[in-house]
Amino acid sequence: MSWADKSSGDGQDRDNTNKGVLFPNSYKNKSNQPDVRGNVNIKGEDFKLAGWIRTKRDSDEKFFSLVVEVEDEAPKEAQDQDPIGAVMTAPAPTPIEGLPPSETGEEDVPF
């Protein structure tokens, strides 16, 4: 089936396999940030795109330089880390040798 045979309805029945889109990067505020950003679906897998408009060294001809990244919901490292849970489930600290134990009713902080 060619792209012309596919429905152009409200998007719910649209097959976006092997299609993508690029938009101007309206958040660009540094020269090393991409000029365009977007996404593409290749064989059912989603990827993020970033592109820079470049000029050939030997002429004034323009071209795009692209970077493709796998599109994850969250970085794997961030999924594995739970700093609050790690603190809450950490074992209680061991008492420091040489210090007398706290007596009931005394505050731990002497001020």
94-105 pLDDT tens trace: 767 777 666 666
Q: What percent of the chain has pLDDT over 90?
A: 46
Tokens in use for 13? 């029945």
Is 30 within a domain? Answer: yes
Centre a 10 Å sphere on the Cβ of residue 109 and count the other Cβ atoms it contains.
5
pTM equals 0.53
Query: Does residue 59 form part of some domain?
Result: yes
Give a yes or no: residue 38 inside a domain. yes
For the chain, how many structural domains are there in total? 1
Rounded distance between C-alpha atoms, residue 44 and residue 36, angstroms: 22
Q: Which tokens in the block code for residue 72?
A: 């994850």
**91 within a domain of the structure (yes/no):** no
The answer to whether position 27 is within a domain reads: yes
Tokens of 89: 């489930």
Using CA atoms, how far apart are residues 47 and 16, in angstroms rounded to an integer? 12
Query: Which residue range is the domain that position 53 belongs to?
Result: 17-72
Residue 6 in domain? no
